[in-house]
Structure 1
Amino acid sequence: MLRAGARHPDANELEASTSWRQDQDLDEQQYATLNEYLQLEYKFQPRLCLPADSENGEVTTGARDGAAHVLRCLKVWYDLPADVLISAVNLFDRFLTKMKVRPCHIPCITVSCMNIAIDQHAEDTRQPRNVTVEELVSVSQSACTAGDVRRMSRVITDKLALAAECRAGTALHWLRLLYSMMVRAAARLNVPLPPVQESDLVNLLEIAVCDASCVNARTGELALVIIYHKLEEQLVDWCARETSTGGTAECAFYLNDFAAQLQAYCHMSEASLVSTRNVVRAALSRYGARGRAHPQRLVWRLSERTLKVLRPTDRLTSLLPTIEEQHFAAEQTANRNRSGSESSESEETSDWPRSPVLPVYCNN
């Protein structure tokens, strides 16, 4: 018998065998998921062909990009996860691929796609949604009602057959899967990788999917190009800081080898991958040239009724004229004979309410 606290002679071999078996199971699970994504990639792939200028009342690429940036505004405004934004943009592009719509319906379709994406995320995470349809309509200023959004959501759900489909397969799912596979393979080979935050990759993906030039890019290629774009940037910084280039050369060789393996496994052609890389880099360059973290912003349109309420505040000043109080002011002031009645309705600030301090609100 073994003494208390003593280990079996074959304990290390058993632990190593168990760890290796777990790694094998995890690798098989990842490749099974990758095969599932490959089968669903065709179904989730938009194929838009939008004109740059509208000739016959068609939806243009500018309108598409505007809708995508409105979706990102809503995502930032309500602090929604990236899954909601990527799913909403994917729904929007797929619906425009399948249906011919008029430009006047784009705002309602945009909010409806966000509404469906929020419902899907709440169902997947089993958490109640914290954004109502009325709030989406109000903040987006889409000029439609909550009932219009609900009806359009049902139309989009029916046309895209969302009720019976598997919702895994967006570019974000590909991004997370490919990056986790790369990290695991590098750790198994003891290859050092430059530190990359998943949030940075997700931000790059959001920028890419909001650009119309990246719409028709293959989902797997888009995710792979974004991962390698960020890794190349980190690798350049890493080379500048490291005095020894041995680890850097090993890392670069591993990245190229892993990309070649994925490219062969996913049947990605070299020409298509290079084209996707050029398109993504151009989109990221255009975004970076603006010099702002979030180039889109909400434009608040005020109605005439709201302007009438807010107009008195335009004339408020922090400096008030001095009032001279003299006891003989009343005696020296000449009497005026009013030749006619003067009404404040003729003044420039005659719009209701006319109070210079507080606006008057009526409940009726």
Structure 2
Amino acid sequence: MLRAGARHPDADESASASTACDDDSQLYATLNEYLLLENKFQPKLCLPDDLENGEVTTRDRDGAAHVLRCLKVWYDLPCDVLFNALNLFDRFLTKMKVRPCHVPCITVSCMNIAIEQHAHDSRTERKVSVEELVSISQSACTAGDVTRMSRVIADKLSLAAAVRAVTALHWLQLFRGIVAAACRQLQLVLPALQESELVNQLEICVCDARCANARASELALVILYRKLDEQVQEWTRKVSSEGGSTEQAYYLNEFAAQLQAHCNMCPESVWSARRRATRVLQRYDARGAACACARQRLVWRLSERTLKVLRPTDRLTSLLPTIEEQHHVQDQSPPRNRSGSESSENEETSDWPRSPVLPVYCDN
């Protein structure tokens, strides 16, 4: 019999196990909640590839997405802000027919709303003002235009409600937690699922119009599938070379199939989303490899007028005054020429490069 105040030696383990069970049940409760809200925040874009009757094209949409991503990187904003702004932009284009000239203002307004919502949810002070967004984005609109457009977007999308949009980022974080919980329950080796790498791939996909209409849950699961496939292939190579069992890979694939069935995902739809995401990521990787191969020394070309402004020796003279020393009679000799420097007016003897091309070396 235990003394008063004493605990069983296995009390910590049982308490941690019960806590883990509670967390797992909370994950599945969140999953069911996301499934109910997914259709509400799903965009359905019908944008032409070429300019037709003054409509917004897929190229305009991708350009706006990359502007949002640049603003996120410039101000070091959380990833949630970017995904929320993209979701607002796509849903607004789904519901309203806008002209291409209004796209820059709508883009900055969506980022403005996303920053405001993040500051409200995190209960922190907003660090980026509307004026700064307008200045950095170069959207050719004023802060007043962005404020008015933000009110229009909030009104058309009914953003006054307390329910926040469930984006692909939320799905990815949820699926990652569910896979980790399943590995603990099945006593499997947890795959190396780095969240930063997964989020970066998801950002690349959502910034492409080909993945805009894919279900957020399917797109997140596809990104997770790619990483799980790499882990399964690594396990298979170890089994073939070192020997062992393939039960871990089997259980992991079986669990992924069950998760897909629980979310009511059609296999054809998942395969289509995976094919589009793979194509986008391969194109992005190929473009990055081409840029790395073609990287060269950065050169700034300056005009003669700018070059004269930048010269540090223009205000120096070629003559120096006579130095008067103590207890000596002032030297009446004529002023001597400066020996260590020459006038910049003489182009032939100037130490500044005569070419208007100035090389600038990059660390990369």
TM-score by length of 1: 0.77
Q: Is the counterpart of residue 96 in structure 1 residue 89 in structure 2? A: no
CA contact under 8 A between 1:196 and 1:234: conserved in structure 2? no
The answer to whether the Cα contact below 8 Å between 2:110 and 2:150 also exists between their aligned partners in 1 is yes
Aligned: 1:135 with 2:143: no
8 A contact 2:41–2:165 mirrored in 1:
no
Counterpart of 2:181? 184
- Paired with 1:78 and 1:25, the residues of 2 have a C-alpha distance of 37
Query: Are positions 1:229 and 2:226 aligned together?
Result: yes
CA distance in 2, matches of 1:180, 1:70: 31
User: In 2, Cα distance between the equivalents of 1:74 and 1:245?
Assistant: 50
Say if 2:213 is the partner of 1:216: yes
Q: Please state how far the C-alpha of 1:263 moved relative to its aligned partner.
A: 1.3
Alignment partner, residue 58 of structure 1: 55
Higher mean alpha-carbon deviation, 225-234 vs 32-41, is at 225-234
Do residues 264 (structure 1) and 249 (structure 2) align? no
For residues 225-304 of structure 1, the aligned pairs below 5 Å read 225-236=222-233, 243-244=241-242, 246=244, 249-291=246-288
Counterparts of 1:188 and 1:101 in 2: how far apart (Å)?
A: 50
Amino acid at match of 1:244: E
Of structures 1 and 2, the one with the larger relative CO (CA 8 A, separation 6+) is 1
Alignment of 1:11-50 (within 5 A): 11-12=9-10, 14-50=11-47
The C-alpha deviation readout for 1:264-302, integer Å capped at 9, x for no partner, is 11111111110110011011111111116999xxxxxxx
- Structure 2 unmatched runs, 5+: 293-302, 320-364
CA contact (8 A) 2:84 2:165 kept: no
Aligned to 2:306: 313
Aligned to 2:144: 147
2:251 and 2:306 map into 1 onto residues whose CA distance is 64
The 2-side partners of 1:89 and 1:267 are apart by 25
Q: SS at the partner of 2:67?
A: helix
Q: Structure 2 counterpart of 1:269, which letter?
A: C
Question: Which amino acid in structure 2 is aligned with residue 272 of structure 1?
Answer: S
Instruction: State the alpha-carbon separation in 2 of the partners of residues 217 and 25 from structure 1.
Output: 32
Equivalent residue, structure 2, for 1:351: none
Paired positions, count: 309
In 2, are the aligned partners of 1:84 and 1:117 still within 8 Å (CA)?
yes
Looking at structure 1, the residues matched to 203 and 135 of structure 2 have their Cα atoms a distance apart, in angstroms, of 24
Whole-angstrom distance in 1 between the partners of 2:154 and 2:210: 26
**In 2, distance between residues paired with 1:276 and 1:264?**
16
Q: Which residue of 2 aligns with 1:157?
A: 154
Alignment of 1:79-94 (within 5 A): 79-94=76-91
| Residues 1:109 and 1:3: Cα distance change in structure 2 (over 3 Å) | closer
- TM-score, structure 2 normalization: 0.77
Q: Does 1:175 align with 2:154?
A: no
Question: Paired residue for 2:355?
Answer: none
Q: 1:191 to 1:324 in 2, by over 3 A?
A: closer
| CA distance 1:5–1:93, change in 2 (3 Å) | closer
Distance 1:6 1:87, change over 3 A: closer
Q: State the Cα deviation string for residues 233-278 of structure 1 (Å, max 9, x = none).
A: 344456567853536x333212211111111111111111101100
What's the offset of the Cα at 1:195? Answer: 1.4
Rounded Cα–Cα distance in structure 1 between residues aligned with 2:310 and 2:281: 45
Distance in 2 of aligned mates of 1:135 and 1:318: 33
